[in-house]
Structure 1
Amino acid sequence: MATILDDRGQGRTGYAKRISSHLAAALVTFCLLQIFIVAKMGGSLALHLGIIIAIGGYAVAARALERRWQMLEQGGLSRGGLALRFRRDLLQLWGASLVGALLWIPVAIIFRFLFG
């Protein structure tokens, strides 16, 4: 876990690459959780289309985060400042991925209640 959160043995150029790896893993987790939850809740075509839209929105946000880290690395921040921002962004990224996918549970319940 220490190698995930710390920048040991890497230069300053490692953060953008590492955030990209976390974005890819979080996107896969986000997609699989959404598909699993909607399938278990008896998902309809409308819910599956909603998954496609949610994944598209996630991809746009992920690209913005990647650009942010490319710019942060080029800035004059200290190593400690970058490490702090990296940990904060990781917590937000994984929190949003897991909570965002779990939001399909109430959506599916409401959809089933309204449309049978």
Structure 2
Amino acid sequence: MRTLPQPHPEDFDLAAVLHALGDPVRLELVRRLAKEGETTCSPEGITVPRSTLSNHWRILREAGVVAVRTSGKARLVTLRRNDLDARLPGLLTAVLDELSAERNGRPTPLPTA
């Protein structure tokens, strides 16, 4: 199986990361990775076609949000939290906190001036 290109942390682009996080399916994939750790490329409960799911993983990988490694015939995906936090401090935490607040039905506090 061929190795998939993945950017180095110093090459992360804020616009690409924000684009990758700007889709509800990709946000759900990131939320699951943050909660559960490593997963296969076809996690249970995601109800999109496999080709669409592959495209979502590609966008996340090319932006540097996830890393993909091969284990036998399986591709395993992990969240690049440390790399993201080093390059874009606080971004992933803010996104995951917002997702958690939305899931729990709590209003999101507005920033103070």
Q: Which structure carries more helix by proportion?
A: 1
Q: Which structure carries more strand by proportion?
A: 2
Higher relative contact order (CA 8 A, sep 6+): 1
Tell me whether the two structures share a fold, i.e. TM-score over 0.5.
no
Tell me the TM-score normalized by structure 2: 0.29
Larger radius of gyration: 1
